[in-house]
Amino acid sequence: MWIALVGGGVSAIASMAVGAGIPGGLLFLYMAPLPLLLVGLSLGASTVLVAGFAGIMVSGLLGGVLSAGMYAIVNAFPAWLVTRQMLSKRIGLEGAEQWRSLGPAIAWLSVMAAVFLIAGSLTVGDGKLGAEAAVTAFLSDAINAISPDLTDDMRLVFVELLVPLYPGVVGASWVLMLVINAALAQKILRNAKRNIRPSPTLATLKLPHWTSWALVGGATTALLGAGELEYISRNLTIVLATPFFFLGLAVVHYAADHVTFPGSLLAFFYFVLLVLFVSGWALLVVGIGMIEQWAGLRVRFSGPSNISGDE
């Protein structure tokens, strides 16, 4: 029990590092779910509730009710959701236990991010500003605080570049960091021989069928909408496309397993992905994921028996 309490406290303090001005605070903020996931994936999903409650209490004591609420929404509940999904299993056709992958958890995390985006868009500026105008004002102030020496023209260029996709990228990054933290926690526990389940393989990840319809709905609204509706829907589409980015990576890993030098292929792929991420390479990976969801690329490679499903 004390391990869960300590883990929750450490997680809460890490989540407040940026506001406290701690050097490297952004890294601590990104890694805030890690202590919760370490606790949950080694001791069980119920311990995440204890750790999460401890984190909420610490956040409340240090930052007030708003900080406690944000911690619960951004870190505690998602960590419990991911842990519960990763530690669930079912009995296969031949009576063998099958551990579930992160597919459905990633899908639901994306839905959570979409709900946050919609709620934020409806409440931002107390109705005085629209979502796009509020994001513009926020980014202008943030860039001015980070780089006060920039000219007004340069700041305007950066703001105009970031505003169109900023909320969606933030939501997608939140999902991405949670998945990275889960993978890191599992790796640490496996090396320490404290893991409850074997590590899931990305190559076998599958998404629930409804994820494709959610993405199609968001994209259609973005194409047909105008003004604020178009802006919100465009960013919702980015968030709802995040699961397909992981599914695209799953296809790449699955294909790499069937070549002579899989490590070299994956190293080259991720190098190109990092270098060309902003230029549209990530969109290509999302496209591969969408084709996989609709056409079953991995099944065409080697048959359905090699892919474990997550419905």
Q: Which H or E run includes 273?
A: helix 262-276
Question: 79 falls in which pLDDT band (50, 70, 90)?
Answer: very high
Measured CA to CA, the distance from residue 258 to residue 280 in angstroms comes to 26
Predicted confidence at residue 311, as pLDDT, reads: 46
> Is the model's pLDDT at 301 over the cut of 70?
no
Question: 92 falls in which pLDDT band (50, 70, 90)?
Answer: low
Question: 191 falls in which pLDDT band (50, 70, 90)?
Answer: very high
pTM: 0.88
The string of pLDDT tens digits covering residues 230-276 is 999 999 999 999 999 999 999 988 888 877 788 888 888 888 877 77
> Is the model's pLDDT at 67 over the cut of 50?
yes
Q: Helix, strand, coil shares of the chain as percentages rounded to 5?
A: 80, 0, 20
Task: Give the chain's mean pLDDT.
Answer: 85
Contact 78, 33 (CB under 8 A): yes
CA quadruple 258, 262, 266, 269: dihedral sign: negative
Q: Are strands 97-99 and 89-91 parallel, antiparallel or unpaired?
A: antiparallel
Average confidence (pLDDT) over 159-175: 90
Measured CA to CA, the distance from residue 281 to residue 84 in angstroms comes to 32
Predicted confidence at residue 303, as pLDDT, reads: 55
Site of tokens 């500026």: 125
CA geometry: angle at 38 spanning 2 and 285, to 5°? 160
